[in-house]
Amino acid sequence: MEVLDTAALLSWPLEMLMQGICATSQLDEVQRLSPSRHLMLESQGPQFVSPNPAAIEIAVQASQETGDFSGLSSVDLDVLALAFSTGHTLVTDDYRMQNVCQHRGHPWRGVIQDGVREVRTHALVCVGCGAVQQQGETCPDCGANLGLRRV
């Protein structure tokens, strides 16, 4: 079994998805991107599970440690939480998700692409005053935009 990101749900043949596990929140994402694929997945696709709050907190913490938190959606965090809580390999082409897995020593593989080769740590830095922030788009200190910078 593997935990499948939305890229796999959209691009893989249905028979490859049958043994996968996905976050329930991914159904809305698939519905928005491909309504016909959504119908097929609901009727004959992978197992859909909601991650528990403790696992989501682990995913949030791990993504904050690498600086990837600001670039991950709530669906991404659900998928990471599901992978961490089940121990199954995460299948994703999202470099941020791969980076968080790599940081935690959790197994992952790409859907179509090869993926990251090293763990990278990032920080949200204000382009105006240089303050490091945990989240947001603008600096609460000076109001300038925040930019992602490799640490």
Q: Which of 80, 92, 21, 29 is nearest to 56 (CA)?
A: 80
* 6, 10, 31 from 25: Cα distances, Å: 10, 15, 10
CA distance 150 to 90: 24
pLDDT band at 62 (very low <50, low <70, confident <90, very high): very high
On average, the pLDDT of the chain sits at 87
CA distance 146 to 131: 9
CA distance 144 to 137: 9
Contacts of 73 (CB under 8 A, 6+ apart): none
- 23-52, pLDDT tens digit by residue? 999 999 999 999 999 988 888 889 999 999
pLDDT band at 124 (very low <50, low <70, confident <90, very high): confident
Coil, strand, or helix at residue 64?
helix
- 73-85, pLDDT tens digit by residue? 999 999 999 999 9
Q: Kindly state the DSSP code that residue 52 receives in the 8-state scheme.
A: P
Domains identified in the chain and CATH numbers:
2-109 (3.40.50.1010), 121-151 (no CATH)
CA distance 97 to 63: 8
Are 136 and 116 a contacting pair, CB within 8 Å?
A: no
Q: Kindly state the DSSP code that residue 105 receives in the 8-state scheme.
A: T
Coil, strand, or helix at residue 49?
strand
Angle at 33 between CA 32 and CA 34, to 5 degrees: 100
